[in-house]
Amino acid sequence: MTTTSSGNASAQWWRGLTLVLLATLALSLQNVLVRIAQSAKPMPILGGLSQLGGYVTPDPGNPFQVPLLVLLMRISFVVPILWLMLPAIKSGAWAEAKQVITGKDRMLQLRIVAAGIFLFMSQTCIYLAINQLGPATAVTIFFIYPTVTTLLAWRFFGDRPSLQQWLAIAVIYAGCTWLSFSAPTAQFKTDLTGILAAVVSGVVFAMEGILAQSCFGKVNPAIFTGLIFTVEWIALLGVTLPFIHLDINTGVVLMGGLLCLATLSGYLFNNFGIKAIGAASTAIIGSSGPAVTSILALILVSDVLKTEQWIAILLVSFGVLLMNWARINKR
């Protein structure tokens, strides 16, 4: 009996590990697809085996036009599919969502709207950063968000960072600073917009996470996710339709569908992985996000980095790992 139970536990652990690795791969692939979708010219894929991209013509006077259009395409796929999937994830999901929307808890409603707006801002900025810097650099700088989350949790919830967390914060900031200044001097001014966009994306994403944490006592996380994505979709429609003047063609729609597939696959694999091996192990494995994104960018779109950039990316990945490990020890 003991041997059978041990074998089942081992099989479950390996299944969970596989799911979390697939989630990390899917979400990292999403970052590379964002770069391809925003490319003004067709990009060679897998060393020239194929070509993708060239579906948009950027407006030099408005760098947000292309990121907003691509994000709108992705969210336009994600939101309807997500709401169709929610009843299978959480029974009574639609009824609970209706109760939240029509209920009298105005503070909860305001927090959900604010979280959706923050998500909209964060994803718009990271799309712009990926377009300016490439997936590897943009996503690595974005990973300052765990440090901001930790500091905000200290400010609002009194959760003082441990010594190990302070060390992780220092490592992450050192890696991001090194990566930011590793660009050639002539290119740094051009990259500055992307660097600032990645930083803002990480900070705002952390703020959305703090709002989420304050809502989970009153609303199921799956319902909360559906609601904030819907708020983001409405915000995108409000901003994009009146002010974006780019053609929507088959290529843009195709990339939106691929981004949706990568997004939902990542979330589903991650959630099932958490169920199998727990949130702590999942967070540790997810720390590899910057490194996995960098490797996929190198393989798929030949995003070649200098040695010092790779070192900085690994340093940030180690810092995120240390941060997650410190959080687990604290709990």
Q: Encode pLDDT of 56-92 as tens digits.
A: 888 878 889 899 999 999 999 999 999 999 998 888 8
Summarize the confidence of residues 138-166 as an average pLDDT: 90
DSSP string, 201-245: HHHHHHHHHHHHHHHTTTS-HHHHHHHHHHHHHHHHHHHHHHH--
**Structure-block tokens of residue 161:** 């960072």
pLDDT at residue number 231: 96
Chain segment 282-299, per-residue pLDDT in tens: 777 888 899 999 999 999
Q: How far apart are CA 326 and CA 168, in angstroms?
A: 8
pLDDT at residue 278 greater than cutoff 80: no
What confidence tier does 100 reach under pLDDT thresholds 50, 70, 90?
Answer: very high
Closest to 290 in 3D by CA, of 305, 278, 273, 275: 305
pTM for this model (two decimals): 0.91
User: Going by C-beta distance under 8 Å and a sequence separation of 6 or more, which residues neighbour residue 78?
Assistant: 229, 260, 263, 264
Summarize the confidence of residues 95-116 as an average pLDDT: 93
Summarize the confidence of residues 156-169 as an average pLDDT: 89
H, E, C per residue of 12-46: HHHHHHHHHHHHHHHHHHHHHHHHHHCCCCEEEEC
Chain segment 13-60, per-residue pLDDT in tens: 788 888 889 999 999 999 999 999 999 899 999 887 889 999 988 887
User: What does pLDDT average to over the chain?
Assistant: 88
- Which of 50-54, 180-184, 195-199 comes out lowest in average pLDDT? 180-184
pLDDT at residue number 1: 47
pLDDT at residue number 98: 93
pLDDT at residue 217 greater than cutoff 70: yes
Cβ distance 81 to 260 under 8 Å? yes
Closest to 260 in 3D by CA, of 51, 271, 126, 252: 252
CA angle 240, 241, 247 (to 5 degrees): 90
Q: Is the dihedral of CA 169, 171, 175, 180 positive or negative?
A: positive
Q: How far apart are CA 73 and CA 57, in angstroms?
A: 16
